Chain A
Amino acid sequence: MGGVTPTHLKLSFIDWLLFLQQIALFDQKKRIYSENKLVFAPWYFLLPAIAFFLVYVIIPIFQSVWISFYEWDGLGEAQWVGLANYIELFDDEYFYTSLKNNCIWLILYLFAVPIGLFIALFLNQIVFGIRFYKSLFFFPFVISQVVVGLIFAWFYNPNFGLLAYIFLSLGLEPIAILSDEELVTYGIIFAGLWPQIAYCMILYLTGLSNVSKDLMEAARLDGAKGLKMLWHVVLPQLRPATFISVVVTVIGALRSFDMVAIMTEGGPYGSSNVLAYYMYETALSEYGFRLGYGSAIATVLFFIMLIYISYFLWRLYKNEREA
């Protein structure tokens, strides 16, 4: 492939358009009238995207599920073992720890939604420089999770981290959160919440700017204010923002990989592992190249995710039907 440069890609894009035009002209010449033209045309436009997506996304899903029925080290001959990998999962305590941690992630991560709403409400004012404030609040979301993980790992450092300072100034013994089997997952989730809250906040801020003024005025005339106003008048209008916040947060929680990899590599003793990282560890790290077993873990994660994806698609479908 060599170096793919932007100019190459641009060129090929325009080439493709010219090609489409040629086809369209060809169609006209052969006097295939509009009906047929409209039957084939969408496929010319769709073909490149479908090809890419098929090769890199759709087919690999099936391959992964298929590999999960094999015992394979990636080099030698793969051996068909049927459901053995899945049966092994049942007795694998690391798998259960990871699954449990994913559940904790899921539940605690969802706090990003109300906290994001709270900050959005706090910032939804018109004072001097508020736009600047809003964008600074949004910062954590734009930064790589690798950087966020590093920062928080330093924060938690029991020798010179900021948290140790706080503990010492309160007269307490500093806790090494990241080497404590009980606390480590909570420590990582806390770090992960930082960018996630920023994400939810921005969704709510945009939602708030679209809240109907008339409804608010009417409610105010009826004497609604404060929490009542929020619950009965504002939140129903923010439903799309809430929905998407929940979706991206759930997906984010189940996808959590970067933070765990950077902050603890799943340790100590696998206590902060999550399915995404455990899968990587079994399949590709120095702990062994068990690709079949790794695929089985990935398949489990995939099916958990599929629940949320189906829910999302179902909502999308309902919206499409109404439109």
Chain B
Amino acid sequence: MFPKPINTFSPKYQLIYKIVLPIVLIIWLLPLIAIFLTSVRSAADINTGNVFGWPSQFLLIENYSEIFKRSKAILYLKNSFLITIPTVILSVSLACLAGYALAIYRFRWSLPLFFIFVAGNFIPFQILMIPVRDMSVSTGLYNTISGQVLFHAAFQTGFCTFFMRNFIKALPFELIESGRIEGVSEAKIFLYIVLPLVRPALAALAVLIFTFVWNDFFWATVLTQGESVKPITAGIRSLNGQYVNNWHLVSAASLCAAIPPVAMFFLMQKHFIAGLTLGSVKQ
């Protein structure tokens, strides 16, 4: 353990550490605390310039219900879920199959294909922007939920395949071999031997991809037009333009946008961190 465990220090230092810890945390989260306080203040506070001070009134319910009543926040949130959940299912499924193939079979294309998936995950979005937008327009997928789902699923397949391949590769190969010797078909080996074993990886991957796609802003601006299929990230931006100086409402909407990934992270924390490190640290 590094640095030296705090309980080997004198009680004085231990106390200092325990006092400093929450202070540092508050400074670290100051932006979030500020936005939360803003989201519960009154319009009068904002108009008099009390944007970062203590709110004169706490209007938690009023402000949050107002944002749902007066704006399309509900629609944006619904769109975000409609985009994110199918994307997660589709890309994880595709990657499961592909990762299995790349991990288990020895064939000439195995490593090059693996590298292409990895590299694709790192390229700048802009190099895809014009052709993908063009193709979406010409196939009628522009400004639809499914258009966004298909693109995200395809793009995330790169990272997911990288991830699943590494996970499956680490499984004991004897399991697959014994299945083959018993004459089990390849599809059944995948379905009944490998799939149950990769369940933790699926969870980790699902949480990660959920966050990535939920927070996407670029593709939401490129592949949509108007309000009907916009996810919440792009929605906030238009709210920000719509409600100039109504910061209490915009910050309420922003916090609504942050809640699902934050909740996801809190509920599945173990999986989330396992996901980040499996996909990365253990290259």
Contacts and interface: CB of A to CB of B under 8 A. Distances in A.
Interface string B145-176: 11101110111011001000000000000000
Interface stretch (A53-61, A84-92, A103-111, A177-185): A53-61
A31 interface: no
Interface in A1-49: 1-6, 9-10, 13, 16-17, 20-21, 23-25, 28, 34, 37-39, 41-46, 48-49
A312 interface: yes
A137 B28 CA distance: 7
A13 B91 CA distance: 11
Contacts of B250: 150
Contacts of A229: 2
Contacts, number: 338
Interface residues of A, number: 125
Contact of B126 (A52, A152, A276): A276
Contact of B124 (A144, A206, A276, A316): A276
Given A64-B130, A127-B18, A57 B98 contact: no
Nearest to B107: A42
Given A13-B93, A41-B105, A316-B118, A211 B2 contact: yes
For chain B, the bracket of interface size reads 35 or more
Contacts of A207: 281
Contacts of B68: none
B35 A151 contact: yes
Interface in B83-138: 85-86, 89-90, 93-95, 97-98, 100-102, 104-105, 107, 110-111, 113, 115-120, 122-135
A168 B186 CA distance: 70
Contacts of A269: none
B21 A46 contact: no
Interface string B22-59: 00110011111011001000000000011110000000
B198 interface: no
B4 interface: yes
Given A45-B190, A160-B51, A203-B281, A313 B119 contact: yes
Contacts of B93: 9, 13
A3 to B, nearest CB: 7
Instruction: Label chain A's interface by main secondary structure.
Output: helix
Given A1-B141, A154-B51, A283-B130, A124 B2 contact: yes
A301 interface: yes
Contact of A144 (B5, B144, B233): B233
Contacts of A302: 123-124, 126-127
A52 B117 CA distance: 11
A218 to B, nearest CB: 13
Given A9-B89, A211-B1, A3 B49 contact: no
B22 to A, nearest CB: 8
Given A42-B110, A49-B94, A136-B25, A155 B5 contact: no
B1 A203 contact: no
Contact of B283 (A64, A140, A240, A280): A240
A144 B258 contact: yes
Interface string A198-224: 000011001110010100100000000
A147 B50 CA distance: 20
Given A144-B258, A206-B277, A298 B31 contact: no
Nearest to B236: A146
A188 interface: no
Contacts of B98: 45-46, 48-50
A258 B218 contact: yes
A286 to B, nearest CB: 13
7 interchain residue pairs of minimum CB distance? A56-B154, A49-B98, A60-B131, A45-B101, A24-B185, A63-B131, A42-B105
12 contacts: A1-B141, A9-B93, A20-B190, A42-B110, A135-B266, A142-B262, A142-B264, A151-B251, A258-B218, A301-B124, A308-B122, A312-B122
Given A150-B35, A275-B126, 19 more contacts: A1-B140, A3-B82, A6-B89, A9-B89, A38-B105, A45-B101, A53-B154, A55-B135, A57-B158, A59-B131, A60-B131, A121-B3, A127-B14, A146-B236, A151-B254, A244-B280, A251-B122, A309-B122, A315-B283
